[in-house]
Amino acid sequence: GESVGLHLPTLSVQEGDNSIINCAYSNSASDYFIWYKQESGKGPQFIIDIRSNMDKRQGQRVTVLLNKTVKHLSLQIAATQPGDSAVYFCAEKDSGAGSYQLTFGKGTKLSVIP
Amino acid sequence: EPEVTQTPSHQVTQMGQEVILRCVPISNHLYFYWYRQILGQKVEFLVSFYNNEISEKSEIFDDQFSVERPDGSNFTLKIRSTKLEDSAMYFCASGRGTNYGYTFGSGTRLTVV
């Protein structure tokens, strides 16, 4: 079946630098995408989402970019802080009327070096 | 900020035993979900629940699994006869709609021995 995957399993950045986490998806029918942050021992925490009719969305210190042509999603974190250290997952949802589930990627571990 | 609450945080059970994992979704949410995450792996969809019935389920969610919303606040996942491979973190989530980000609980770590 089609799946969501991640280019980089681990990413180390210096505190204060910007981070970019990438995600490739293969389901062309996906119309809704979410980035989640998961800290050790906790559940996924919603960061930001984007619908397929957009190519960019900004939040507080985070930006999500969607390139539907190459089926690529990225999460940019500005001025990365130690508290940003976590595993980041992209997730996508099929546009089908009976589709409720999110399909998660494997995750990228972000380590922030103080 | 509203939270999804899951209990217990950790449950150890013997193979073949029944377990019930409990969740209290956010009160004004209408869509409820169970996901699981085997250690070191990605989060996997199990089931979604809307309007008091299952709306979608994955291949993982076989007839050993069931869900129930017994009252207006709780949402439970039952595994009738646990297997070793059921050991995982189980996350409950709830949402306002299908195209809104869900809110996940902190999970129940199920260990089957």
Cis peptide before B8 (omega within 30 of 0): yes
∠ CA B8-B13-B14, nearest 5°, is 175
**Closest in A46, A89, A101 to B45, CB measured:** A101
Residues A3-33 pLDDT 10s: 454 444 899 999 999 999 999 998 888 999 9
Contact A100 B56 (CB under 8 A): yes
**Closest in A43, A89, A103 to B107, CB measured:** A43
Residues B9-52 pLDDT 10s: 999 999 999 999 999 999 989 999 999 999 878 899 999 999 99
Q: Are strands A62-67 and A72-77 parallel, antiparallel or unpaired?
A: antiparallel
Nearest residue on chain A to B56, alpha-carbon basis:
A100
Nearest CA distance, A65 vs chain B (angstrom): 17
Contact A104 B98 (CB under 8 A): no
Are the C-beta atoms of residues A51 and A113 closer than 8 Å to each other? no
